[in-house]
Structure 1
Amino acid sequence: MDIDYVIRKDKSPAIIDESSPVDVALYERWERSNRLSVMFIKIKISTVIHGSVDQHEKVRDLLKAIDDQFITSDKTLASTLIMKFSSLRLTNVKGVREYIMKMRDI
């Protein structure tokens, strides 16, 4: 399934009436790869990161926004994560499973 195609290749020119079948196929391949990559990244990143990054249609823009978010707030994020990690106790959570899930998400 070539989902990294969109990262390796630039966007194909838009489809017009004079486009060849090869051009149409390349454009559709790029669009499919872009949609799948954006969807995969949005599913896999933490909700904390997902909420702080703007919505993007292109995977390269999304990756750049995620990268920029970590560059600007590296120390602040580390401090916040340490505080969350140290303040979460098993007694504050209803069960062991929920505690493990919250620790994993931190």
Structure 2
Amino acid sequence: MKCSIPEAFRGSISEGQSAKKFLEEIEQYFAKNEKVETSNLLAKLISMKYKGKGNIREYIMEMSNLASKLKSLKLELSEDLLVHLVLISLPAHFGQFKVSYNTQKDKWSLNELIFHCVQEEERLQRDRIESAHLTSTSQNKKRKKTKGAAEGTS
């Protein structure tokens, strides 16, 4: 990939223009790109949604990584704000978990949030497995009753 910076500044140095002035112009060019990058990173961070696929720890770390990139671009988000952004991005089946957090007096650090989210995700998975097992068990019992009744009437 060719860098277009030289083309952008080709012919922009006139006789008598100082190198300092030229470097200031280059700096402004990159500052504009930092604004675009900041906007893109922020848009990605606030639009992220956890879909329940993959590892929730990795998902939260990805959000934290975006916040770190924003910090390097001089847009620092507080840890409290990041915790709330993560909570907002969780799906509806984390609703009870969110209510539980919001009713507590204590605020969680990002590491505490990760710990609790991993626990909650494991609990939700266990509940789904138990629910699926109960459903299949009750369907098998219905089939046996229906089959037994049909055999008894013939």
TM-score (norm 1): 0.38
Instruction: Considering fraction of residues, name the structure with more helix.
Output: 2
TM-score (norm 2): 0.29
**Bigger Cα Rg:** 2
